[in-house]
Amino acid sequence: MQIKALPGFRDFYPEDFAYRRHILEAWRRVALRYGFEEYDGPPLEQVDLYTVKSGEEIVTQLYAFTDKGGREVALRPEMTPTLARMVSARARGLKKPIRWFSMPQLFRYERQQRGRLREHFQLNCDLIGEAGPAGDAEIIALAVDIMRELGLTSGDVRVRLSDRRLLNAVLGEVGLPEGQHGLAYQLLDKLGRGEYGKVKEALEEGGAPPDALARLEKVREIRDWDGLSDAFPAAANAADPLRQVVGTLEAMGLGEFVDLDLTIVRGLAYYTGVVFELFDARGELRAICGGGRYDHLLEALGGDALPALGFGMGDVVLLELLRERGLLPQASPQVDVFLAAVTPEDLPEVLGLAHLLRDHGFRVEYPLTMTGVGKQLGLANSRGARYAVVLGPEDRKRGEVQLKDLGSGEQRSVSQAELPKILRGMGLEDSRAPSPQPSQTSHG
RNA sequence: GUGGUUGUAGCUCAAUCGGUUAGAGCGCCGGAUUGUGGUUCCGGAGGUUGCGGGUUCGAUUCCCGUCAGCCACCCCA
């Protein structure tokens, strides 16, 4: 019986890893572009970190166990508690607003489905210490720009935007007491779905006015500010922050991505303001990204009271969407130059030349076992090499090599000494790390 | 955790009503080709039909269990 990867866990074969890297590098590029700094924490934490505030539900889906020291521990299911702890520990000393991002691998023990595994990579971007709507717009713009970075347009991806403050005003306007807001959120989330009836019954049994629920259903049809004012004239006043967020996004030129959608609830209980999700425009896949404002969470976790907001974006659904839209990168050549030896006597020189080229930062391969030149060129071809260098007795006599462009088939004889310079001139990149720069101390 | 559905080669699929040695394409390996790759041609390897049990003279096919994938719940990183 062959042992396979655990259910919900992925093997990343080279082609899969290339896709993963494509996504994670796009995440990092855009986050850095927004001035965010990267951080990380431990993948294993005390269970208490998650049981205190993250809601009871998450605890039932933890990868948790007792370690050899008798500690109750869990693989991290989300990053926010770790972030809150790290920020709290240094909150007084950090310049606000704090812009931090992380790309942790997260774990949840639940039955897997398409787009939902037991492990995934998730970009977390958080903006801490900024209470105004400009911060909300900044964080949403970051999420949208990642979509654009990956080649997705407003025809592929939509932002659905809502605001807890506005929703609370709506619930108040229709006459639902605060004690029933939790169920009402569930109702909104289920609008138009099969389980709607169950939640509705629960609300009615709790004494919710039937006409209030009927009125609440209109939330589903609201798509713009006029629609909001018509349906809920009193609550519309609470829409100011959200209007400012949308206005800011429009000023950035990202307005075409954004839809007002008050049925966006988000499961996490700690959201206090703007909440949003990113979906594929056809609505076939699960949410790509979800986030919002959580102004009281840091204080609730025992830290300073700091306004905060952020989002999480997983790699799994994003990968599916990119695959469907044909936006995944073609496998790029893995080597620049493949060296071929004509006879075994040429091998020492091939090895020396290979090493020289590698020292220059070229990606170089040569055959590990001696075969015919045809076979070696076949290998060069299958390795995606751009150039082949053929070295035989005749070439050695003249101190030259045959340089062959494997794309065009053109071949010429060039001197060994000038090979690095010639290759550089043909546009091959230097894979070496840039030479060290004096460290910048601009923060001081 | 609950319910439904599907499992045949690395991948995509075929195999008549339950009937001989489970096939094809792609991919992989070798050869045609001992100083020149891709294309082409020839050949080869690769299967306990997910696994276990049952019915039957005989099971890829029918039944049960189990594991895994998918879908819907639950819930939503």
CA of A265 to C1' of B11 (A): 41
Over residues A94-108, mean pLDDT:
96
Q: What is the pLDDT of residue A359?
A: 96
Q: Which nucleotide is closest to the Cα of A406 by its C1'?
A: B37
Q: What is the pLDDT of residue A436?
A: 67
Over residues A436-444, mean pLDDT:
54
CATH match for A337-425 among 3.40.50.800, 1.25.50.10, 3.30.590.10, 3.10.270.10:
3.40.50.800
Asked if residue A441 has pLDDT above 60, the reply is no
List the domain boundaries for chain A. 14-324, 337-425
Task: Check residues 226 to 265 of chain A and report those whose beta carbon is under 7 Å from nucleic acid strand B.
Answer: none
- Could you give the CA distance from residue A276 to residue A262 in angstroms, rounded to a whole number? 10
- Could you give the CA distance from residue A415 to residue A261 in angstroms, rounded to a whole number? 67
Asked if residue A444 has pLDDT above 50, the reply is no
CA of A330 to C1' of B9 (A): 27
Over residues A77-102, mean pLDDT:
94
- Rounded to 10 deg, the angle between the A14-33 and A315-324 helix axes is 110
The percent of residues in chain A predicted with pLDDT above 90, rounded, is 66
Asked if residue A206 has pLDDT above 80, the reply is no
Asked if residue A397 has pLDDT above 80, the reply is yes
* Among A30-39, A44-53, A132-141, A393-402, the least confident range: A44-53
Residue A127: which residues within 8 A CB-CB, separation 6 or more?
A97, A98, A99, A135, A138, A139, A308, A309, A310
Over residues A149-169, mean pLDDT:
95
Q: Which nucleotide is closest to the Cα of A108 by its C1'?
A: B77
Q: Which nucleotide is closest to the Cα of A409 by its C1'?
A: B37
Q: What is the pLDDT of residue A30?
A: 98
**pTM to 2 decimals?**
0.92
- Could you give the CA distance from residue A341 to residue A373 in angstroms, rounded to a whole number? 7
First and final CA of chain A: distance in angstroms? 59
Q: What is the pLDDT of residue A437?
A: 64
Closest CA to A384 of A12, A10, A29, A18: A18
Q: Which nucleotide is closest to the Cα of A286 by its C1'?
A: B76
Please state the CATH superfamily assignment of the domain spanning residues A14-324 in this structure: Bira Bifunctional Protein; Domain 2 (3.30.930.10)
Asked if the peptide bond before residue A97 counts as cis, ω within 30 degrees of 0, the response is yes
- Could you give the CA distance from residue A246 to residue A250 in angstroms, rounded to a whole number? 6
- Could you give the CA distance from residue A4 to residue A10 in angstroms, rounded to a whole number? 10
One-letter identity of residue A190: K
The reply to whether A267 Cβ lies less than 7 angstroms from strand B is yes
The reply to whether A312 Cβ lies less than 7 angstroms from strand B is yes
Highest average pLDDT, of A84-88, A125-129, A223-227, A231-235, comes from A125-129
Q: What is the pLDDT of residue A303?
A: 86
Count CB atoms within 10 A of the CB of residue A59. 14
* DSSP tally for chain A: helices H, then strands E: 17, 17
The reply to whether A109 Cβ lies less than 7 angstroms from strand B is no
Q: Which nucleotide is closest to the Cα of A392 by its C1'?
A: B35
CA of A112 to C1' of B73 (A): 13
Q: Which nucleotide is closest to the Cα of A385 by its C1'?
A: B37
Return the ∠ at Cα A52 (arms to A169 and A293), rounded to 5°: 35
Which of strand B's nucleotides are less than 7 A from any protein C-beta? 1-2, 28, 31, 33-38, 67-77
- Could you give the CA distance from residue A80 to residue A270 in angstroms, rounded to a whole number? 11
- Could you give the CA distance from residue A278 to residue A141 in angstroms, rounded to a whole number? 11
- Could you give the CA distance from residue A313 to residue A125 in angstroms, rounded to a whole number? 9
Q: What is the pLDDT of residue A344?
A: 92
- Could you give the CA distance from residue A273 to residue A131 in angstroms, rounded to a whole number? 10
In which band, very low, low, confident or very high, does the pLDDT at A2 lie, cut at 50, 70 and 90? low
Six-digit token string for A205: 């049994």
CA of A425 to C1' of B30 (A): 39
The reply to whether A286 Cβ lies less than 7 angstroms from strand B is yes
Six-digit token string for A295: 């102004």
CA of A21 to C1' of B14 (A): 38
Closest CA to A39 of A146, A107, A123: A123
Q: Are strands A387-391 and A337-341 parallel, antiparallel or unpaired?
A: parallel
pLDDT tens, position by position, A330-388: 777 789 999 999 999 999 999 999 999 999 999 999 998 889 999 999 999 999 899 99
pLDDT tens, position by position, A135-151: 999 999 999 999 999 99
Residue A7: which residues within 8 A CB-CB, separation 6 or more?
A112, A118
Q: What is the pLDDT of residue A439?
A: 59
Q: What is the pLDDT of residue A3?
A: 77
Are the C-beta atoms of A266 and A292 separated by less than 8 Å? yes
In which band, very low, low, confident or very high, does the pLDDT at A57 lie, cut at 50, 70 and 90? low
CA of A420 to C1' of B77 (A): 49
The reply to whether A389 Cβ lies less than 7 angstroms from strand B is no
Asked if residue A55 has pLDDT above 70, the reply is no
Q: What is the pLDDT of residue A204?
A: 79
CA of A13 to C1' of B11 (A): 14
DSSP A404: E
Buried-state track A137-163, b at ≥16 Cβ within 10 A, e below 16:
bbbbbbbbbbbbebebebebbbbbbbb
Q: What element of type H or E holds A226?
A: helix A225-231
The reply to whether A122 Cβ lies less than 7 angstroms from strand B is yes
Count CB atoms within 10 A of the CB of residue A230. 13
Q: What is the pLDDT of residue A95?
A: 94
Residue A95: which residues within 8 A CB-CB, separation 6 or more?
none
Asked if residue A99 has pLDDT above 60, the reply is yes
Task: Check residues 146 to 175 of chain A and report those whose beta carbon is under 7 Å from nucleic acid strand B.
Answer: none
Total count of residues recorded for chain A:
444
Asked if residue A202 has pLDDT above 90, the reply is no
